[in-house]
Every structure is written in structure tokens, then in C-alpha cells.
Chains A and B, each alone.
Chain A
Amino acid sequence: MAYNYKTELGRYRRYYQALEPILKTTSSRMYTSVIFSFLAVSLFGWYAIRPTIQTILYLKREITDNTLINKQMEDKISALIETQAYYQQIEPLLPDVDQALPPNPDAIPVVIQLRNLASISGVLLTSLQPASTPLLGQNPSKNNNAPVSSIVSSKQQSYDLSVSIQGSFKNIRSYLSGIINMRRVTTITGMTLSPVVGEQSGSPSATLSDNILQLTLQLKTYYLVD
């Protein structure tokens, strides 16, 4: 059906004219004005007032945050300058700290030190067995088969060592003191002290060797992972 603008115009005019009697009543006019007021306030509230106030509050917050950040940055710069002074003070000692807590497992130096300590203390080193350790300081938590015993912290790793020595009480005590005084951080996690049975062990006439004791130590040594 073709569009006839004359008839359509007449139709819409009739609609508008039909609204006139409705708006003539007071209550309808009041309702209409109130309803449109609410809608207008809502509309302008959302599209005009909200973005404006939001921008104001955002800028205020930004000023507060930047002031705080500026202060924190200044504090940090002061702390870094202070730290640099401390660092220069301890810089000559840093290789010693690296020896105490090396950046990789470094099992061989520990073994050598324990062997040398045994010689110095005058005890007989009968067995020294490190648990299989990673050659480099990779994170053992990534490898389930890694034998490293425990993860002390996210960066600090450790592995176990088992040491058996024989000697007199005095020498064993000297050996233990040596371990405590060793620069490489090593802790004693277990210790078994027993008398050494003589050559005829197993026979009914087996005797205890005079003053000779056997000490089995479980040690744990540490290193850092970057």
C-alpha cells in the first residue's frame, strides 16, 4: 500500500489532539511535570553530573596519591643512599658472605672442608656422603626427583650430608666445634654417638675400644638460588 502523507499526517494530528483533554486536568499536569522532572534529573545526573563529579574526585585522588608517592620516593631515595653507605662498608666482606651462602650448591668445597676439619681435629673420617645435589643452583621444586631435602624459603635451598667419624671424645668435640665455626652455613640435624667395638666384634669376647667413639652426623648445608 502506497504511503500517503496527507492521511498519515491527519492520523498523527488526531493523536496529538487526543492528548489535549488529558493534559487539561490539574492532576495529570502535576503528575506529568513531576514524572518528567524525575526523569530529567535522572538523565542529567547520569550523563552530566556523574562524569563531572567523577573527574573532580579522580583528580583530587590523583593529587593525594602523587603527593604520597612523592614522599615515599624521597624516603626510598634516602634509604638507598644509606644502604649504599652500608654496602661500601661491608663490600670487602662480601666474598666471605658468598662463601657462607654460595649462589650454587658447591658440594665439593663442603666435603673438602669437612675432610680437612677431620684431619685438623685428629678424628678418623670413615664416611662422608652428600645427598645427590644439583650441579647448578636450579630450583629443585621444579623437579620432583630432585633429592634436595627441603625448601627453607623461596630463595634459600639446602641439601643433606651424612658424616661418620671415629675418635676420642675430645677430638670429636673439637670436630663438632669446628663444624659450628665453619664459615659455610651448615647445621647439624641429627647425631648418633656410639662406642666403637673392637676387632673381634661379633664374637662373644668382643670388647669396647678404649675411649674410641663413633659419631654419625646428619648435616644440612645451604645455598641461595637466584
Chain B
Amino acid sequence: MENDQDLLLISIFTFFTITLWVTFELLKTVKTTTVATTTQQIVVPLNPKIDIDTVNTIANKQVY
């Protein structure tokens, strides 16, 4: 009887451990991005606005 209870406890703990482990593995899968680092670098947003006024100001300055 004592042995049975011990084995039951061990099996319950094993079950919970495995359940938690599986849960965390699945969470990790959901949270981890599948996009490669190089792709992430490529898709960094680009601001297309060029400050033309500043360029014109530079062009209007003098060279001595």
C-alpha cells in the first residue's frame, strides 16, 4: 500500500513535470520568430524623405 502511494505520487509528479515542460516548449515555439536575422535586417523600415531644403542650403553656400 505504501509502495503504491509512492509510485502514484511519482507518476503524478512526472505527469505534471512533463505537462509543464510541454507547455513551456510550446510557448517558446509561439514566441520565437521564424524570420532569419538577415531578413530582419533587410526589412528595416526606410525613411524615403530626403531633406532637400538642407541640400539646397548646402549648395547655396560658398566655396572660397
A90, B50: Cβ atoms under 8 Å?
yes
A96, B58: Cβ atoms under 8 Å?
yes
Chain B residues positioned under 8 Å from A112 (CB to CB): 64
**Interface 9-residue window, one of A6-14, A30-38, A137-145:** A30-38
A54 to B61, CA, bound (A): 63
DSSP class of B's interface residues: helix, strand, loop or mixed? Answer: helix
Per-residue contact bits, chain B 49-64, to A (CB 8 Å; 1 contact, 0 not): 1101001101101111
Chain B residues positioned under 8 Å from A80 (CB to CB): 46, 48
Residues 195-216 (chain A) with a chain B CB within 8 angstroms: none
Residues 1-48 (chain B) with a chain A CB within 8 angstroms: 1, 4-5, 7-8, 11-12, 14-15, 17-19, 21-22, 25-26, 29-30, 32-35, 39, 42-48
Of all chain B residues, the one with the shortest Cβ separation from A63 is B34
Q: A79 at the A/B interface (Cβ < 8 Å)? A: yes
Chain B residues positioned under 8 Å from A42 (CB to CB): 11, 14-15, 17-19
B contacts, CB < 8 Å to A: 1, 4-5, 7-8, 11-12, 14-15, 17-19, 21-22, 25-26, 29-30, 32-35, 39, 42-50, 52, 55-56, 58-59, 61-64
A53, B26: Cβ atoms under 8 Å?
yes
A112 to B63, CA, bound (A): 10
DSSP class of A's interface residues: helix, strand, loop or mixed? Answer: helix
Of all chain A residues, the one with the shortest Cβ separation from B18 is A42
From B46, B52, B63, A79 is in contact (CB under 8 Å) with B46
B15, A38: Cβ atoms under 8 Å?
yes
Interface magnitude class on chain A: 35 or more
Chain B residues positioned under 8 Å from A178 (CB to CB): 62, 64
Taking the closest CB of chain A, its distance from the CB of B60, in whole angstroms, is 9
Chain A residues positioned under 8 Å from B50 (CB to CB): 83, 86-87, 89-90
Of all chain B residues, the one with the shortest Cβ separation from A83 is B48
Per-residue contact bits, chain A 84-118, to B (CB 8 Å; 1 contact, 0 not): 00110110010011011000000000001110110
Residues 169-197 (chain A) with a chain B CB within 8 angstroms: 178, 181-184
In the A-B complex, the 10 residue pairs with the smallest Cβ-Cβ separation, listed nearest first, are: A82-B48, A31-B4, A38-B11, A183-B61, A72-B43, A116-B64, A42-B18, A86-B50, A83-B48, A96-B59
